Chain A
Amino acid sequence: MQKLSVRHLLGIKGLTENDIQLIFETADNFKSVINRPIKKVPSLRDITVANLFFENSTRTKLSFELAEKRLSADIINFAASSSSVSKGETLIDTVNNILAMKVDMVVMRHPYPGAAVFLSKHIQAQIINAGDGAHEHPTQALLDAYSIREKLGDVRGKKVVIVGDILHSRVALSNILCLQLLGAEVMVCGPTTLIPKYIHTLGVKVEHDLQKALNWCDVANMLRIQLERQDIRYFPSLREYSMMYGLNKEILDSLDKKIVVMHPGPINRGVEITSDVADSRQSIILDQVENGVAIRMAVLYLLAGGQN
């Protein structure tokens, strides 16, 4: 069996292009599995996975849980608000308590950047980062790239624009790194106050005019505006944001090519994209969700198989 070059999936940083291709090929197999009448395989039997969610999540948690169940893993779930944890038990203690019950893998969502990296230095179990603050969300980036590959045949050479709150987005960072590793060109687009000053050091193009960005791209990934992540106001109102960066059918139809529209969910309908765009044939939003399970199955499976 081919193996990954890493022991944990902490981020796209640290992965090689071969790792990603291996994850994609493995996901291809699992995608056919989950479309069969019997959706379950015994690959992770006897493996216990702890899903530790220190921050609210619905879809990522469901997607991981489903992936684990389809692989026949045993699962325990832990949810805590970060505030109650930061007041009391430390992260290492919390996780070690759970690991004392003989857990093999940890899937963790955490509000602080670097939490998964930090944990990997202090515990034995294998870790999958399910999102750490504004740092990384590797499985989201993998499923996004996988969905582009599925829709357009290949990621290499494609032009992808990520629109929205780049400053607070782990999805943006992981997507940039993943798409670049696979040979795509990446642009970020959003209000000047939501684009990190040094984003150009990652080798991405920066555009503040949505129309221009869309004219340039093959794929538009419309990020969710996460007001809950903003400690201060970075733009005057959602209404104004939507006026400048909302994607509607009119704009979409004005483009001279049929671009692919993506969204990591959950959608604020009428803010980032209008319903007619979200539900249009150019949108692959629901494919992303389906591919999410296959990608997470592939990651769990490959990590359980050990490191190269």
Chain B
Amino acid sequence: MKLLLKSVKVVDPNSPHHGKQVDILVQNGTIAKIGKSIKEEGIRKLEWKGAHVSPGWLDLNVNFCDPGHEPKEDLKSGADAAAAGGFTAVALMPNTQPPLHSKSEIEYIRNKAQAYLVDVWPLGTISRDKEGKDLSEMYDMKSSGAVAFTDGTQAVQDAGLMSRALLYAKGIGSLVMNTGDDRSISQKGKMNEGEMSTLLGVKGIPALAEELMIARDIYLAEYNDARIHFSNISSARSVDLIRAAKRKGLKITCDVSVNNLYFDESALHDFDSNFKLRPPLRTSQDIKSLKNGLKDGTIDAICSQHTPEDKEHKEVEFEIAAYGSIGLQTAFALACMSLQKSMEIESIISCLSQKPRAILGLEPVSIREGAKANLTVFDPEKEWSLAASDILSKSKNTPLIGARLNGKALAVINNDQYKLTS
């Protein structure tokens, strides 16, 4: 593959070209040349108005339902959706059937996704069968390509197991992730406990359920001197807890879903199950704190929490509808729309690219001559809207069909392949 990106603005503080408008020649999967005006005939030239380029983006929290629920999504359709959203890499949650809990499943993912443009990094489970009882074979999975460990949507309830998981993962040089959800508090709640749940008569999930577990895990991480990553935090107090722990020097990182940055609980006023998410949408106060957390570096990464669900699980009564919405293709737009007023574009991009890569211990990507071409081209201002026919996921569970969006990926380049996103 040989390709010339014309007149793109580099967004990469680690690059000597940061902030400059340049041409980039990509050849055989590497950045062959970067210059003011590269003249090259007979090759594919890509040129847009207002195009920026950054190291390829990585989404720390996606579900591809493969193996187990392939009619909702499979690795290929999921990877296509990721590419269309500007992501050149994803970390795959083990919410599959069977869960990604042994070498076989990890190898299946790695082998099947080997030739994709998008790097698919599997996250193995902490516990066997995601049951929260016994540790799964983390070392074996790590050796097969698992980049970190989490029980996905099943937050680890047992403090003893969590403590052992942190310690064991530390021993094999890996990372444990958890999501804050103390089920003895959240019980049968279906949405944020607050004004809206009171008005709808729906059982609430108190933010306390998240905060208690995060507080517990901070203690456990400190006790074991281990790293921990919190997936999709959603409440103001969680931000405070993590900020304080980071100040203390603990090895803690966390991410937030764009859903929790952009929407609040009022979106649920007419029981639209596309807004039934876990963690639930919270309040405008929580959103404010999450934004501050991103701004001051408390929150490290932004993810889509892409969760495909078919009609049969979404077009049902709110109470029994499945959690989640797809989000890979709209994540960048929601990030731009919620953050552009408060953050520089390079800080937003860092939460989509460099920081999540560092969390998983992946090789850094940089825009310089001779480096691997792992790039996302985007326009943070571009206005667009998502048509149902544009959705590359097999599932269409998003509240954003037809909505006006700002900010769009234009192209992705990785593994000696490229893809235009529109």
Binding site for B on A (CB under 8 A): 13, 86, 90-92, 110-115, 117-118, 121-122, 132-136, 170, 173, 196-199, 201-202, 231-232
Is there an interface contact between A110 and B201, defined as CB atoms closer than 8 Å? Answer: no
Q: How far is the CA of A112 from the CA of B191 in the complex (A)?
A: 14
The number of A-B residue pairs with CB atoms under 8 Å apart is 74
**A91-B317 CB under 8 A given contacts A117-B271, A231-B187:** yes
Is there an interface contact between B317 and A13, defined as CB atoms closer than 8 Å? Answer: no
Is there an interface contact between A133 and B201, defined as CB atoms closer than 8 Å? Answer: yes
Task: Write the chain B residue with the least CB distance to A122.
Answer: B315
Which 7 residue pairs of A and B lie closest in terms of their CB atoms, listed nearest first?
A: A135-B201, A114-B271, A112-B319, A134-B201, A201-B195, A113-B201, A112-B317
10 A–B contacts, CB within 8 A, in A order: A112-B320, A114-B202, A118-B271, A134-B201, A135-B201, A196-B198, A197-B204, A198-B204, A201-B195, A232-B187
**A117-B270 CB under 8 A given contacts A13-B199, A201-B198:** yes
Q: How far is the CA of A136 from the CA of B203 in the complex (A)?
A: 14
**A198-B193 CB under 8 A given contacts A112-B319, A133-B319:** yes
Chain B residues with CB under 8 A of A86: 320
Chain B residues with CB under 8 A of A132: 201
Chain B residues with CB under 8 A of A111: 319
- Interface on chain A toward B: helix, strand, loop, or mixed SS? loop
Chain B, range 304-336, C-beta contacts under 8 Å to A = 312, 315-320
B288 interface residue (CB < 8 Å to A): no
Most buried by A among B195, B316, B319: B319
B188 interface residue (CB < 8 Å to A): yes
Chain B residues with CB under 8 A of A196: 197-198, 204
**A113-B319 CB under 8 A given contacts A197-B193, A231-B187, A231-B188:** yes
Out of B200, B315, B316, which one reaches A135, CB within 8 Å?
Answer: B200
Task: Write the chain B residue with the least CB distance to A113.
Answer: B201
Q: Quote the shortest CB–CB distance from A300 to chain B (angstroms).
A: 24
Q: How far is the CA of A122 from the CA of B270 in the complex (A)?
A: 13
B35 interface residue (CB < 8 Å to A): no
Q: How far is the CA of A112 from the CA of B318 in the complex (A)?
A: 8
- Interface on chain B toward A: helix, strand, loop, or mixed SS? loop
Chain B residues with CB under 8 A of A197: 193, 204, 206
Is there an interface contact between B316 and A90, defined as CB atoms closer than 8 Å? Answer: yes
Q: How far is the CA of A269 from the CA of B317 in the complex (A)?
A: 35
Q: Quote the shortest CB–CB distance from B201 to chain A (angstroms).
A: 3
Binary contact track B246-288/A, C-beta < 8 Å → 1, others 0: 0000000000000000000000001100000000000000000
Chain B, range 156-195, C-beta contacts under 8 Å to A = 187-188, 193-195
Q: How far is the CA of A117 from the CA of B271 in the complex (A)?
A: 7
Chain B residues with CB under 8 A of A199: 198
Out of A110, A170, A202, which one reaches B317, CB within 8 Å?
Answer: A110
Out of B199, B202, B319, B320, which one reaches A202, CB within 8 Å?
Answer: B199
**A198-B197 CB under 8 A given contacts A91-B316, A110-B317:** yes
Q: Quote the shortest CB–CB distance from A217 to chain B (angstroms).
A: 22
Given contacts A92-B315, A112-B319, A114-B319, 18 further A-B contacts (CB under 8 A): A13-B199, A90-B316, A110-B317, A111-B319, A112-B317, A113-B200, A114-B317, A115-B317, A118-B317, A134-B202, A135-B202, A173-B199, A198-B197, A198-B198, A199-B198, A201-B199, A202-B199, A231-B188
Task: Write the chain A residue with the least CB distance to B316.
Answer: A90
Is there an interface contact between A198 and B317, defined as CB atoms closer than 8 Å? Answer: no
Q: How far is the CA of A92 from the CA of B206 in the complex (A)?
A: 31
Chain B residues with CB under 8 A of A90: 312, 315-316
Task: Write the chain B residue with the least CB distance to A114.
Answer: B271
Is there an interface contact between A170 and B201, defined as CB atoms closer than 8 Å? Answer: yes
Q: Quote the shortest CB–CB distance from A236 to chain B (angstroms).
A: 19
Q: How far is the CA of A262 from the CA of B319 in the complex (A)?
A: 31
Task: Write the chain B residue with the least CB distance to A198.
Answer: B198
Q: How far is the CA of A132 from the CA of B270 in the complex (A)?
A: 14
Q: How far is the CA of A134 from the CA of B194 in the complex (A)?
A: 15
Q: Quote the shortest CB–CB distance from B133 to chain A (angstroms).
A: 23
Task: Write the chain A residue with the least CB distance to B202.
Answer: A113
Q: How far is the CA of A197 from the CA of B203 in the complex (A)?
A: 11
Binary contact track B21-47/A, C-beta < 8 Å → 1, others 0: 000000000000000000000000000
Chain B residues with CB under 8 A of A201: 194-195, 198-199
Is there an interface contact between B320 and A118, defined as CB atoms closer than 8 Å? Answer: no
**A118-B197 CB under 8 A given contacts A135-B202, A231-B188:** no
Chain A residues with CB under 8 A of B270: 117, 121
Q: Quote the shortest CB–CB distance from B286 to chain A (angstroms).
A: 14
